[in-house]
Structure 1
Amino acid sequence: MRVLGMISGTSHDGIDVAVVDFRLTGGLLEGRVGHTASTPYPAELRARLIEALPPARTTLAEVCELDTLIGQSFAAAAASAIALGGPVDLVVSHGQTVYHWVEGAHALGTLQIGQPAWIAERTGVPVLSDVRIRDITAGGHGAPLVSVLDGLLLGAHEGGAGALNLGGIANMTVVRGGELYAYDIGPANALIDAVVTSRALNPRGFDEGGRIAASGRVDAKLLDVLLDEPYYGLPAPKSTGKELFHLGYVEAALAQVGHEVTEADLVATLTELTVRTVADDVRAAEVGALVVSGGGCRNPVIMDGLRAALPGVDVAPSDDYGAPSDDKEAIAFALIGWLTAHGLPGTVPGGTGARAARVLGTLTPGAGPLALPAPVAEPPRSLVLTR
């Protein structure tokens, strides 16, 4: 079964796609990764999206328009992926998260926009969407859903392994002896990107190659203020997002410092915040390997910082395990689509904190009758990804 996975993450910079051809043999699921791509949002659309995100106030009219415009962008990216990578049996669209409702350390709701009907209409292929909410209704956080892929991919790793995703938010799955747990650590690129974008330090909206951070020095007082965030002390499972870690959060921290912080020093300090919070949690997990994906693994300041802080841990990109680091989340959602299509849960309770595993998503029919493959009685025990 060929599945197209699609996601725009918490960095809200564009749409990542991955076509994966899955075959199940016994308890082994093989996934051949085909076409992958990343399509930036049009500049005007990204600007509108940023302006509508928390803590900004917005209108239902703007949400409706963004839902359509983002849906059309996803539809165009899907059509391009199919034209270049060949026909698919199912599209899985995560859409764009615009709000993740957490109170008292419990997720109560989540909203992803990007109307899937635009994708189904453009491609004629059925679309699975709204993949997070069913886990939340079962008491989970709806995140990090990539933990289902991590468990299958790394379950045989001796001594335990951590799978770290450095998107807007840093999340980690810890896999050991057939068991796993996962949670959101805190900001990875979210605060860095917010500063780079607001101060026009790079037209691409991120610290490319870590060059800004490398040119600055960590401000110890500001770092202490940032590390005093109560979220870091909460037990897993837990989830967070731009609702907490946004530009206003940085400005509030700067107001407590009492002295001027240069732009380069600010970016360096926010980068060190990511390194420090991730390294602390990796040490606590006592894993021998850390498998890193997401945009942050392309930032040498972050990666060098993690290696220096974790001398006993093998820190490597997920590429070494068959999952290209820039495409891992899109591959994960393709996997969730395969699981749903075969009547299998797309979550692991330890990964999200839910009462039990759940089959995920809402299906939008394509051009013809909705036809699903025969259900599979037992979930796969492991996953091997190849190109």
Structure 2
Amino acid sequence: MRVAGLISGTSHDGIDVAVVEFAAEGTSLVGRVLYDGSVPYDPQLRARLIAALPPAPTTLDEITQLDTLIGQAFADVAQMAADAVGGVDAVCSHGQTVFHWVDGQHALGTLQIGQPAWIAERLGVPTVADVRIRDITAGGQGAPLVSFLDELLLRDRGRAGALNLGGISNITVVDGADVFAYDIGPANALIDAVIVARGLNPFGYDDDARIARSGHVHGALLDSLLADPYYLLPAPKSTGKEHFHLDYVNAHLDRQPGAIPSEDVIATLTELTVRTVADAIRRTGLTTLVVSGGGCRNPLILDGLTASLPEVDVLLTDELGAPADSKEAILFALIGWCTLHGVAGVVPGGTGASAPRILGTITPGAGPLVLPTAAEGVTSLRLEANARG
């Protein structure tokens, strides 16, 4: 079965897509990555999305329009990927998170927009979506769902960890049958928010860390940011843009005497990511760490982590067959396969759920909805190298 996985993460800069062809032998699954890529949001659509995100006020009118416009954008990307490989059998769309409701340490709700019916109508294939809420109803955080893929990729590597550096950083630790995961804090979220607000880069991110390299870490600002109580909360825990956003940065800046140059702000936020992630990883006792997400392309972050963790072997997930930039899209292709085969797509230790759950809802494609024969489960996964290169 060929499944297209799609996601726009907390950096909300575009849509990542991967088409994976899955073949099962009992509970063993082989996934051949046929296509992977990323398509930026239209600048006007991205600007509207940013303007609607918390803590900014918005309206149901605007959310409804964005739900349709983002759904149509996802349908465009899904069609492009399907055409590139000669068609797909199903799609799994994460959509775009606009709010993750957490009260203390308990996730109570989550909202992803990007209406999946636009995808199902365009491609005529079943589309799985709204994948996080089922985990939350079972007592989980709804995040990080990537712990499901991480556990399958790392289970034979001793005490190993997988780090995703998206808008938010999250870590999965796998030690034999034991798995736990949680959101560490901001990775690119605050950096990107300041760059966009101040017009520092038309692409909306710190390309090759050029801005951060030109600045200096502001010690007092860094200390203020590190004092956030979130970092002291025990796992499992989850967070997002509803906590780490532009106004959050500005509130910390307002506590500092005098203006801080933009390049120093970016350098400090970059160091915040390095410091919080390195501290979290030291507490895990890992010997191997595989890294993915847009932040792994930021040399100051990756080099900073490598220097801070000399006892840890740091490598990219490409070495495990999952391209670092497309790992989460591959995850959602996997979740789509699992849901359509009646298989749970979450690790309780990864999210804090009481038990595994089959994730998501299914929007039928053209014609009757015919599901494949239920699978026994997935106990191992081998990803084969991206054929597109």
The two structures have a TM-score, normalised by structure 1, of 0.98
Aligned residue in 1 for 2:43: 43
CA distance in 2, matches of 1:27, 1:360: 18
Local SS of the residue matching 1:39: strand
Map of 1:260 onto structure 2: 259
Give the residue type in structure 2 aligned to 1:155.
R
Letter aligned with residue 56 of structure 2: A
The equivalent residue for 2:277 is: 278
Following superposition, the deviation at residue 259 of structure 1 comes to: 2.9
Paired amino acid for 1:126: P
Query: What's 1:78 paired with?
Result: 78
- Within 5 A, what are the aligned runs for 1:275-354? 275-354=274-353
Structure 2, unaligned runs of 5 or more: none
Q: How does 1:1-387 map to 2 (within 5 A)?
A: 1-158=1-158, 160-377=159-376, 379-387=377-385
Alignment check: 8 A CA contact 2:2 2:90 kept: yes
Q: What's the offset of the Cα at 1:26? A: 3.5
Deviation string 1:235-290 (CA, Å, 9 cap, x unpaired) is 10000000000000000011112232111111000000000000001000001011
Of 255-264 and 161-170, more deviation after overlay is shown by 255-264
* Distance of 2:340 and 2:64 partners within structure 1: 29
Shift of 1:366: 0.2
Q: Is the 8 A contact 1:156 1:178 kept in 2?
A: no
SS at match of 1:257: coil
**Worse overlay, 304-313 or 23-32:** 23-32
Q: Deviations over 1:351-374 (max 9, x none)?
A: 001111100000000012111111
Structure 1 unmatched ranges of 5 or more: none
Shift of the alpha carbon at 1:321?
A: 0.8
SS of 2:283's equivalent in the other structure is helix
Indicate the SS of the match to 1:285: coil
Extract structure 1 runs of 4+ deviating beyond 4 A: none
Local SS of the residue matching 1:95 = strand
Cα deviations by residue, 1:118-177 (Å, 9 ceiling, x for unpaired): 11111101100000000001111100101100000110002x111000000001100111
Amino acid of the structure 1 residue aligned with 2:383: L
SS in 2 for 1:191: helix
The 1-side partners of 2:289 and 2:217 are apart by: 25
Task: Please tell me the residue identity of whatever aligns with 1:270.
Answer: L
In structure 2, what is the Cα distance between the partners aligned to 1:172 and 1:260? 34
The Cα shift of 1:28 comes to: 2.2
Q: What is the CA distance between 1:231 and its match in structure 2?
A: 0.4
| Percent identical | 66
Question: What amino acid does structure 1 have at the position aligned with 2:88?
Answer: V
CA distance in 1, matches of 2:248, 2:85: 41
The aligned length equals 385
2:27–2:375 CA contact under 8 A, matched in 1: no
Q: Please tell me whether the aligned partners of residues 120 and 126 of structure 2 are also in contact (alpha carbons under 8 angstroms).
A: yes
- Residue type of the alignment partner of 1:131: V
In the TM superposition, what is the alpha-carbon distance from 1:380 to its structure 2 partner? 2.1
Superposed CA offset, 1:190-219 (max 9, x none): 000001100000000000011111111111
Equivalent-residue separation in structure 2 for 1:376 and 1:34 (angstroms): 23
The 3-state SS of whatever aligns with 1:136 is helix
How far 1:88 moved relative to its partner?
Answer: 1.2
DSSP 3-state at the match of 2:16: strand
Tell me, in whole angstroms, the C-alpha distance in 2 between the residues paired with 1:215 and 1:298: 17
Which is worse superposed, 259-268 or 61-70? 259-268
- Work out whether residues 20 and 33 of structure 1, in 8 Å CA contact, stay in contact via their aligned partners in 2: yes
The two structures, once aligned, show a CA RMSD in angstroms of 0.8
